Amino acid sequence: MKIEIQERDREILTIIMELSKAVRCCRQDDVFCEDVTFAQFAVLDAVAGSRSLNMANLHDVLSVNKSTTTRLVAPLIKKNLLIREKAEHDSRAATLRLTKQGKEVHEKVWKCLLSFVRAVQEEIPEGKRDSALAGAATFLAALRNVSSMRCVGESDACSCRCA
């Protein structure tokens, strides 16, 4: 059975692959600024945005499992950037908050990232920035909505269904 691959299908898959390559710099475990990785900065930023964050909520914010969250948080606690405290409502739960040093590092990393974010903006023609961001947000929402789908079965009879 021959499948029909439309040009738009190929275009969408190419964009997804290129996006994956383009954001690889943000997914590496390498230190990129102030002795933190991009993923660790995401933790600091999430905690900073709420002043105190429940570990369970952090799993959702980062879209990772509990062990990954723990792996990201542990070095930040060791570096004295985060404090882990027992939650008041449940002694099994933990909340995180930034230390004074954590707040300083968070601000320094944001300053570092601002030059990158602004350089990206400059690459988009001024009159197209709003529509480019809106389009990217729409595309990202679509990817999130179907991200749990996996192709299963033989290549001849492959069907996509939620994993």
CA dist., res. 63 & res. 99, Å (int): 24
In order, the DSSP letters of 136-151 are: HHHHHHHHHHHTTEEE
Interior CA angle at 45 toward 44 and 46, to 5°?
A: 95
The pLDDT, as a whole number, for residue 129 is 95
**Distance between CA atoms of residues 81 and 137, nearest Å:** 31
Tokens of 86: 């027992």
- If you compute the radius of gyration of the chain from its CA atoms, what whole number of angstroms results? 20
* pTM of this structure: 0.74
Q: Give the C-alpha separation, 60 to 56, whole Å.
A: 7
For 58-73, write each residue's pLDDT tens digit: 888 887 888 888 888 9
- How far, in Å, CA of 102 to CA of 83, rounded? 9
Q: Domains in the chain, start-ordered, CATH in brackets?
A: 32-124 (1.10.10.10)
Percent of the chain scoring above 70 in pLDDT: 84
- Tokens in use for 54? 């429940």
Residue reference for tokens 């570092």 = 112
Compute the mean pLDDT over every residue in the chain, rounded to the nearest whole number. Answer: 84
